[in-house]
Amino acid sequence: MKSKIIISGACLAAAVAIAGCSEGARTYSDAEYIMFADTASVNVVLQGSETFSVPVISTVTCDYDRTFGVEIVDSGSTAVEGRDFSIDANTLTIKAGENRTDVMVTANLDNLSDMDTLHFNLRLVVPDAVKWDLYGDQTKVSLFKVQPFDIENFTGWCMVTSSCLLELPGLDNNGVQRLIWTEKGQEENTVVLTNWLHDGYDVTIKMDPSDPAEPSVTMDADQVISNEQNVLGQINADDRIYVEESSNAYSYFNTCRNSVILNVRVYLQEFGAPFATLGYYDNQMEWVSDEEADRLVKEYGMVKKGGPSDTGAGE
């Protein structure tokens, strides 16, 4: 699995220093420090990849093994040892000729909720002589659970809640929510949002699951979401309202909730040139089952926009 470790420049420079211990010595040198690679370690937990490492480094290499302890600090932790996670051993060894070892942590995936981020603190048990006051002897370890990415989970019925519809509802909306039909696009990991914000206008988004810690969503520019007359009541430019991903805010998806947060810029053009920006808007999209879609129609009066003909779409 992928463990995202934040390493400070000064700490990394110290870690690669190769000032060795005195030959034959069995005591710590005054120039030697042992510490966690940094004071924060953020880790994604996936099914089948529940184990991750927390690096411990030394500023020097030695010609002998160095063994010391590591302990869990209960104070300030939200994760519970034995319930949420476990560490492989309370003893660590930096082997001769090396300047790194790792605390191996195994998360108990079944006990982690889908949306919570838990954390616990680790402390190194080393002689005071090798503690670097600048960095201390502790680190905060965070872990959160994600589900494996499957593009099929982002197809079918989707409930859209859009701040754009609050300001620019157009003639075909009477609220900030829509129930739309979505399909896989032609390109890998793309989804077509049919009738996204306005009837008759589809847009495509692309999902990037390569980094489970930062799953991102992108959108090509110059996609059309409506005509001007429908939304603005008049024609100001070329009678099209365009959308693209926002440069002001990050867009991402969540595999536990099967949801997307899409931040966009809505704008006008004339003869292919910029004309006006109508605003920056956030859009929350949550994929629901056929049964849930039917419930939203029955209990909340939502209207299905598009979809298979046998579902009662377009009512």
The letter for the amino acid at 150 is D
Which single residue is written with the structure tokens 């099209």? Answer: 240
pLDDT computed for residue 7 by the predictor: 33
Handedness of CA 159, 163, 166, 171 (dihedral sign): negative
The residues, any chain, with a CB within 8 Å of residue 262's CB and separated by 6 or more, are: 205, 217, 219, 245, 251, 282, 283, 284, 285
pLDDT computed for residue 115 by the predictor: 67
- For residues 313 and 181, the answer to whether their CB atoms sit within 8 Å is yes
pLDDT computed for residue 111 by the predictor: 84
- Say which DSSP state 186 is in: S
Could you give phi then psi for residue 163, rounded to 5 degrees? -70, -20
User: CA 224 → CA 144, 157, 227, 228, 262, distances in Å?
Assistant: 37, 21, 8, 10, 16
Q: What stretches in the chain show pLDDT beneath 50?
A: 1-19, 22-29, 310-315
- For residues 38 and 209, the answer to whether their CB atoms sit within 8 Å is no
Burial 226-250 (b: 16+ CB within 10 A, else e): bbbebbbeeeebbbbbbbbbbeeee
Burial 194-207 (b: 16+ CB within 10 A, else e): bbbbbbebbbbbbb
Cα angle value 82/110/290 (rounded, 5°): 160
Is the pTM higher than 0.85? no
Q: Report the C-alpha gap between 312 and 240 in whole angstroms.
A: 29
The residues, any chain, with a CB within 8 Å of residue 288's CB and separated by 6 or more, are: 156, 157, 158, 159, 296
For 123, the token pair is: 């402390």
Q: CA neighbours within 13 Å on the CB side: how many for 74?
A: 3
